[in-house]
Amino acid sequence: MSERFETKTVHISHAPLAEEASKVTPIYQTSVFAFPGLEEVEQYYEGKRNYLYTRNGNPNQAELAAAVASLEEAEDGVSAASGMAAIMAGLLAVLSPGDHILAADQLYGGTYSLLAKELARFQIELDLIDLQRATSLAEFVRPTTKLLYLETITNPLLSVPDLPHWIREAKAHGLVTMIDNTFATPYLVRPIRYGADLVVHSATKYIGGHSDVTAGVLVGRADLIRRAREVIVNYGASLSPFEAWLAARGLKTLALRMERQCDNARKVAEFLRSHPAVAQTYYPTEEETAFFHCRKQGAMVSFRLRDESSVYAFYRALRWIKLAPSLAGVETSVSHPLTTSHRSLSEEQRQASGITLGLVRLSVGIEAYADIIGELAAALSPAGA
């Protein structure tokens, strides 16, 4: 090595620790990987080496994808820069121009925008189905229908479609099933067990769990994941190594967090159902979630204020519960679907879906449940009690 200062400053710090066994996966914060020679580069393209360029793949991305795939009992998985990027990759792994997609009518607003607006540019048509009223897909399926998309627990009204039934219906018509399992997580239900082809997560939420990462993960059939990985690479939607590392670290405490958050949410829902300022509380029942693998109903609670105009006073009255347009951190937070997650819907769509001014979505954290209830009680007092 040269002793010249300019050269030493570039090269002195880099010493790969090939012989050291780190207890946890290091952060491979590199945009590109080095090769001893051209023969090894060729080995990468022959599938004999794993990494070339972080957009194409990185150990941290792979660790997160493999971990979620294992928990979901899926054949393979791939990580992406966000939940929406993972959804896009899953859809484009299945759909082509001229195809038709069926989706539940209760969806996250960003997902609806992707399905209704962006896919339309690919000449892919969409029909929405009320899965709480319909019993069959027969009347909705066309010769061009390729995929059924739904959420295990819907955002923001927290209804729970009969997942085993709708997967069976989709298979009877030769459709691929893609399930957004963000709200339930594999702690509560694993759709692959019921025959789902693809399962997607906004890992920004419960997978990461600490509101400090933006990431997505798609898992499922190996052939579909192979194509989805190509989409992510080609569209530049790869997850950064540091974000992947953070999400994989957060995932380790998923079971502990979900157990506490679900228990807290059930108690908070019971409190809200009896509060005079609350007109309606949305929280899954034991009957709706009978097919869940874990006998809990989730960590999200939504409710509608009796006096909807008091919603401004309610949010202002909160002290330590934060108003934030996301969910699933260890801290309890609230959001306002009408003006954030579902603002892209038309007024007619929002009214039809029950997304009104007084609807509050509550993400229940790991705090002492009595403190959460006390904070809500204080904020609800000026809001109409």
- pLDDT surpasses 80 at 345: no
- pLDDT surpasses 90 at 250: yes
Cis bond before residue 156 (omega within 30° of 0): yes
- pLDDT surpasses 50 at 385: no
Residue 258 shares a structural domain with residue 370 = yes
Q: Is residue 350 part of a domain?
A: yes
Quick one: residue 98, left, alpha or beta (phi over 0 = left, psi -120 to 50 = alpha)?
A: left
Q: Is residue 308 part of a domain?
A: yes
Active-site annotation, residues: 55, 108, 180, 205
Mean pLDDT of 227-255: 96
Q: What are phi and psi of 68, to 5 degrees?
A: -65, -40
- pLDDT surpasses 70 at 16: no
Domain stops at, among 251, 285, 315: 251
Residue 243 shares a structural domain with residue 324 = no
Domain stops at, among 251, 284, 300: 251
Residue 299 shares a structural domain with residue 330 = yes
pLDDT digits (tens, 9 = 90+) for 266-299: 999 999 999 999 999 999 999 999 999 999 999 9
Residue 84 shares a structural domain with residue 177 = yes
Q: Is residue 14 part of a domain?
A: no
Domain stops at, among 236, 251, 266: 251
**Does residue 148 contact residue 178 with C-beta atoms inside 8 Å?**
yes
CATH of the domain at 167: 3.40.640.10
- pLDDT surpasses 90 at 100: yes
**pLDDT, the chain, mean:** 93
Q: Is residue 264 part of a domain?
A: yes
- pLDDT surpasses 60 at 3: yes
Q: Which residue has tokens 């906004």?
A: 202
pLDDT at 343: 66
Q: Is residue 6 part of a domain?
A: no
Q: Which domain holds residue 267?
A: 254-383
Alpha-carbon distance 33 to 223, whole Å?
26
Q: Is residue 203 part of a domain?
A: yes
H/E run at residue 105:
none
Residue 106 shares a structural domain with residue 204 = yes
Residue 376 shares a structural domain with residue 324 = yes
Point out the least confidently predicted range of 12-21, 24-33, 96-105, 356-365: 12-21
Closest to 72 (Cα-Cα) out of 162, 191, 182, 179: 191
How far is CA 282 from each of CA 103, 302, 334, rounded to the nearest angstrom? 21, 5, 14
Residue 329 shares a structural domain with residue 289 = yes
pLDDT at 38: 97
Closest to 187 (Cα-Cα) out of 297, 348, 332: 297
Residue 313 shares a structural domain with residue 284 = yes
Residue 154 shares a structural domain with residue 245 = yes
Mean pLDDT of 183-193: 97
pLDDT at 382: 67
Residue 246 shares a structural domain with residue 265 = no
The tokens for 326 are: 């996301």
User: What is the model's pTM?
Assistant: 0.94
pLDDT band at 355 (very low <50, low <70, confident <90, very high): confident
Q: Are strands 100-104 and 278-282 parallel, antiparallel or unpaired?
A: unpaired
Q: Is residue 247 part of a domain?
A: yes
Residue 224 shares a structural domain with residue 75 = yes
Q: Is residue 92 part of a domain?
A: yes
- pLDDT surpasses 50 at 195: yes
pLDDT at 27: 94
CATH of the domain at 375: 3.90.1150.10
pLDDT digits (tens, 9 = 90+) for 122-166: 999 999 999 989 999 999 999 999 999 999 999 999 999 999 999
pLDDT digits (tens, 9 = 90+) for 24-82: 889 999 999 999 999 999 999 999 999 999 999 999 999 999 999 999 999 999 999 99
pLDDT digits (tens, 9 = 90+) for 312-326: 999 999 999 999 999
Residue 267 shares a structural domain with residue 353 = yes
- Number of domains the chain is built from: 2
